[in-house]
Structure formats: structure tokens, C-alpha cells
Structure 1
Amino acid sequence: MDTKTILLVEDNPDDEFLALRALRRHGLQDVVVARDGEQAVGQLFEAAPPLDPWLVLLDLKLPKMNGLEVLRTIRSEERTRHTPVIVISSSQEETDVVKCRELGVLAYLTKPIDGEKIMALLATAGLSF
């Protein structure tokens, strides 16, 4: 079976812990964590070799580079343009939701992370683990 690497971009340690626990309960063990937007972009484009995740779970309210900037960067590069991204944020602002949908996110969920919802979304999108 191919390894399915997930990039979790989350700056809050409590939310990171909950997300990792929810993912691991569903057998998703290969998770790389970035704790700010610059670190996420660095892992995706500047690391040697660059990270090629199966899925990105992205918070919007991040230090150094916000989640929308990270998402725009992901979508602007050919290699990552079609990488599935699920935004998981505490923000319920309609403008955030609209911008994320315009940038082609798989889903926009509010925190805390719900492993069951993630797995259902992946199955619906044909990305079953």
C-alpha cells in the first residue's frame, strides 16, 4: 500500500493534538506538521525533496503567512494545484468560506477536527484510505 502523507498546518498545540488523535484513530499515521504558513510552504516547495502530500489539512489563522496565502501558493504551483485541501478553522466568516471555495478546497470545516467528517469527505471525493 502506498503511504498517504498528510500535511497538517496548525499553530495551536491543543488543536494539533486533537487532529493527530482523530487522524490516527482512522489509520492515518503519516502526518507531517507545520506550525505556521511559512513552514508549510517551505516543506512543500523548498525542502529537499519537497513534501508531496496526499492531503493538506489547513488552518487559516496562522503566524508568518496566513492560510489563505498558503492555499493560494498551493494552487499557483503545477505540482500541487490539484492536491486535496481541507480547511479546518475557527473562523466562520462567510468571506473566508467563499475565498476558500474559490480556491478549490475539498471542504471547509470548523474546529475542532472531526475524524469521522474527514473520512466521509475523503470517501465522497473518491480518496478513500
Structure 2
Amino acid sequence: MTSPILLIEDNPMDVDLTRRAFIRHNLNNPLQVARDGQEALDFIEKWETGEAIPVVILLDLKLPKVSGLEVLRVIRAHPDFGTIAVVILTSSAEDRDIHEAYSLGANSYIVKPVDFDKFIEVARQIELYWTVLNIAGPPRHG
């Protein structure tokens, strides 16, 4: 079974854009969605009970309930899931957010494009990176 991609995004239009972009590029990974920071943290319990661990997490920073930076902090501190690849996919281009995301262990930081064609290109780059260029670490047990 192909590992899922977890999209943590509260904007329904961005969720739809991401789905359409991945479909357009025939990405075979199932897309799971958490619509706020607490829902994202709830996935950790699911992974601890055997649900498939995502190959990559696409994380928005501006989330209701729990911020994206706090979600990143919790994931990175987890002994079993701290090495999951996390790509920040957000509208914030603020230096403070970029610096903090990388200091907390983000693998990449992408500012969301507003144009669908540019969004498609971002999806293609994510697919290319995670399926072709990225060298996977050792298998995780859990």
C-alpha cells in the first residue's frame, strides 16, 4: 500500500486545489486532511495505534485551535514520528515564520501560490522531490 500524504490545511479552497493538483500529476499517495492543528495532532494517536504513517506532511502555519508551528514542534519531539518529512505550505512569507519553521525542523518551506497553474507546479515539485530526488531513511517501526 502506498503511504499517505497528510495535508494540514484549514482553507477548503486550498484543500481542493491540492487534491486537484495531485490528481493532475497522478500522485498515487492517498491524501489525508486535517482541518486544524488539533485534528493534526490527533493523527499522532492514530499512528501510534497502527494507522499508516504519512510519507510527507504538508503543513499550513496559520491554523485554528493549534498553530502549525506548535504542530511541527510536537511532531519533531515525538520519538517515533519526529523524522517524518514536513513541508511548510503556507501563505506566510514572513522571515520570522520561515526562521522558526526551519529552527523547529521543517524540511522545506513553500509559500502558497495564488494562481492554480503555479499551484500545479508546486505540486509537481513536491512529487518530484519526494518520489525521485529524496533518499528515504530507514523504515520506521510503530
Preserved contact between residue 8 and residue 56 of structure 1 (Cα < 8 Å) = yes
1:52 match: 53
Counterpart Cα distance in 2 of 1:28 and 1:58: 19
Counterpart Cα distance in 2 of 1:79 and 1:118: 24
Question: Root-mean-square deviation (CA), in Å?
Answer: 1.8
- Asked if structure 1 preserves the Cα contact closer than 8 Å seen for 2:3 and 2:52, the reply is no
* Identical amino acids, percent of aligned pairs: 38
Query: 1:5, 1:30 within 8 Å by CA — same for their partners in 2?
Result: yes
Partner of 1:35: 35
1:86 match = 87
TM-score by length of 2: 0.80
Q: Which ranges of structure 2 fall in alignment gaps of 5 or more residues?
A: 114-118, 137-142
SS in structure 2 opposite 1:85? strand
Is residue 115 from structure 1 mapped to residue 127 from structure 2 by the alignment?
Answer: no
Equivalent position amino acid for 1:43 in 2:
F
1:38-62 per-position Cα deviation (integer Å, ceiling 9, x unaligned) = 0010012257445521110000000
TM-score (norm 1): 0.87
The aligned residue for residue 62 of structure 1 is 63
When residues 86 and 118 of structure 1 are mapped into structure 2, their CA distance, relative to the original with a 3 A threshold, is same
Structure 1 residues 28, 106: closer, same or farther in 2, change over 3 A? farther
Structure 1 unaligned residues grouped into runs of 5+: none
Q: 1:66 to 1:29 in 2, by over 3 A?
A: same
Q: 1:52 aligns to what SS in structure 2? A: coil
CA radius of gyration, larger in: 2
Provide the residue aligned with 2:7 in structure 1.
8
